[in-house]
Amino acid sequence: MSAKARRRTTAQLDRAAQVCAQQGAQLTDLRRHVFSLILEAGAPLTAYQLLDRLKLTHKGAAPPTIYRALDFLLEQHLIHKIERLNAFIPCVEAGHRHPAQFLICCQCGVVSEIENRAATNALEHAAEKEGFRPRNTVVEIEGVCAACFRPS
Amino acid sequence: MSAKARRRTTAQLDRAAQVCAQQGAQLTDLRRHVFSLILEAGAPLTAYQLLDRLKLTHKGAAPPTIYRALDFLLEQHLIHKIERLNAFIPCVEAGHRHPAQFLICCQCGVVSEIENRAATNALEHAAEKEGFRPRNTVVEIEGVCAACFRPS
DNA sequence: AGTCGATATGATATAATATTACATTATGGG
DNA sequence: CCCATAATGTAATATTATATCATATCGACT
Ligand SMILES: [Zn+2]
Ligand SMILES: [Zn+2]
Ligand SMILES: [Zn+2]
Ligand SMILES: [Zn+2]
């Protein structure tokens, strides 16, 4: 991990601590540790991948350990779950709830988060047209990312 | 089950058999049975819920039995998987691949499938703007359906 | 009919993902 | 200190999904 990346992670952890404090929640060492694993991964990690990594330094970690931390981070809007992968990534706009769309590259595995207003609006209108009140929308677009796409 | 609903199911099964035949695939008794369970459910069913129902008449059914049937039905575009629920529903436009959006009511559990062109386009453009080539898009909107919504 | 390959199903085991339940330990306000 | 709350520890179990190998079915071909 580069010095630059480490600085970024530290900044994100600090930001997260602020966000939690504002909500009257605490980013404990355990939660911070799990969050840092997600931040440093660069690709989505499943709960058990996180558990394996956590175990390296946190003997006695068990499934509830990781699922509780994940629930907390989700509640604080610090991470997102990618349903199709049963995996977790950091939120690029950490700390506040927002509509998002995820681009999942099936070649390199990278997932990037975008917030496209036109798409969000179109989905909301589509739902309203049916008399449906949206509360929480999941958009997961699988395909090939720009980096992986090469014209033949 | 009403006579009307039974006729509808029969028509859908016949339609499905045609669709499969055109693809050189066969809707065997087993697959047809699983599909009929999904058609008659009225709400999404998980693989193990289907397995339990299948076992009533098909002694010896096991997880692979149901997962194979589901894989087949997905390949033939006869059903959809709702990722957030790990559950399956019939496709309203059975037999051909198409972009869709799912409206999941968190009160009554009903999932309805819509195909909104504006939303599909907006998502495609959002992806392309990032240089991303979409292959398969999942849109699952959780909220309250028209039937469940009552003004206070 | 006999052989063959391809497809479908049977059967057992196991992997991967997630939750329940209850005990124990910090933490902070009174 | 005492208590309530939040957080974590620990064991067991539930749910979802796949791997593997055996058996059956079926049509094409000889
Ligand atoms: Zn986000
Ligand atoms: Zn890629
Ligand atoms: Zn459909
Ligand atoms: Zn409803």
Instruction: Please report, as a single letter, which amino acid is at residue A134.
Output: P
By the 8 A CB rule, do B111 and A130 touch?
Answer: no
Confidence check: pLDDT of B85 > 90: yes
Segment A67-121, tens digit of pLDDT: 999 999 999 999 999 999 999 999 999 899 999 999 999 999 999 999 999 999 9
B114 touches chain A (CB under 8 A): yes
- Residues within 8 A of B (CB atoms), A 117-136 only: 118-119, 121-123, 125-127, 129-136
CB atoms within 10 A of CB A2: 7
Burial A58-79 (b: 16+ CB within 10 A, else e): eeebeeebbeebbebbeebbbb
Confidence check: pLDDT of B11 > 70: yes
CATH code for the part of the protein at A3-90: 1.10.10.10
Segment A21-77, tens digit of pLDDT: 999 999 999 999 999 999 999 999 999 999 999 999 999 999 999 999 999 999 999
**Ligand 4 is a single-atom ion; what residues have CB below 5 A from it?**
B 105, 107-108, 145, 148
Confidence check: pLDDT of B152 > 70: no
**All residues at 6 or more sequence positions from B54 whose CB lies less than 8 Å from its CB, including other chains:** B33, B34, B37, B61, B65, B66
Top residue of A110, A129, A130, A132 to mutate, by most chain B CBs within 10 Å, is A132
* Alpha-carbon distance A20 to nearest alpha carbon in chain B (angstroms): 26
Average pLDDT over residues B103-132: 97
Tell me the pTM: 0.95
Q: What is the pLDDT of residue B115?
A: 98
Domain residue ranges in chain B: 3-90, 101-149
**Residue A53 DSSP SS3:** helix
Average pLDDT over residues B115-133: 98
Average pLDDT over residues B83-99: 96
Q: Which of B125, B126, B99, B124 is nearest to B114 (CA)?
A: B99
**Residue A30 DSSP SS3:** helix
Q: B101-149: which CATH architecture?
A: 2-Layer Sandwich (3.30)
Nucleotide nearest to B86 (CA to C1'): D16
Per DSSP, the residues of chain B read: --HHHHHHHHHHHHHHHHHHHHTT----HHHHHHHHHHHHHSS-EEHHHHHHHHHHHSTT--HHHHHHHHHHHHHTTSEEEETTTTEEEE-TTTTS----EEEEETTT--EEEE--HHHHHHHHHHHHHTT-EEEEEEEEEEEE-TTT----
Nearest-by-Cβ selection for B138 from A121, A136, A140: A140
Nearest-by-Cβ selection for B138 from A112, A138, A149: A138
By the 8 A CB rule, do A121 and A139 touch?
Answer: no
Nearest-by-Cβ selection for B132 from A83, A84, A143: A143
* Alpha-carbon distance A149 to nearest alpha carbon in chain B (angstroms): 8
Q: What is the pLDDT of residue A17?
A: 95
B140 touches chain A (CB under 8 A): yes
Residue found under tokens 């039905």: B73
Average pLDDT over residues B17-22: 94
B59 touches chain A (CB under 8 A): no
Q: What is the pLDDT of residue B12?
A: 95
Q: What is the pLDDT of residue B2?
A: 83
